[in-house]
């Protein structure tokens, strides 16, 4: 389980982890970013996970297809 920095919002810390996984290729293009798995892995509420996916979508790292889920973009920007 992740140790959270109490001075930073959890969703920002989780987004940092997901960004890192995308940048290193651990989550390759078209990889499914499961909200349910994030909830379980990071032990947070769905609303927190939704903030993470919204931020990553805004950055162009993931795309969300209604009824299918969120996926790493084919040409995800690298950090």
49/40 Cα distance (integer angstroms): 10
Q: Which fold has domain 10-72?
A: Arc Repressor Mutant, subunit A (1.10.10)
Residue 1 pLDDT greater than 90, yes or no: no
Give the tens place of pLDDT for each residue, 18-72. 999 999 999 999 999 999 999 999 999 999 999 999 999 999 999 999 999 999 9
Torsion angle of the four alpha carbons 34, 13, 55, 46, in this order, in degrees rounded to the nearest 10? 50
Domain boundaries, given as residue ranges, for the chain: 10-72
Higher pLDDT, 56 or 1: 56
Q: What per-residue confidence (pLDDT) applies to 76?
A: 46
Q: Which ranges in 2-45 belong to alpha helices (H)? A: 10-24, 35-42
Give the tens place of pLDDT for each residue, 61-78. 999 999 999 999 997 455
Q: What per-residue confidence (pLDDT) applies to 78?
A: 53
């Amino acid at each position: 389980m992740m140790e959270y920095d109490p001075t930073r919002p959890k969703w920002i810390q989780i987004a940092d982890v997901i960004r890192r996984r995308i940048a290193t290729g651990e989550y390759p293009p078209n990889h499914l970013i499961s909200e349910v798995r994030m909830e379980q892995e990071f032990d947070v509420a769905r609303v927190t996970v939704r903030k993470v996916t919204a931020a990553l979508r805004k950055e162009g790292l993931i795309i969300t297809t209604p009824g299918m889920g969120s996926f790493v973009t084919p040409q995800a920007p690298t950090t």
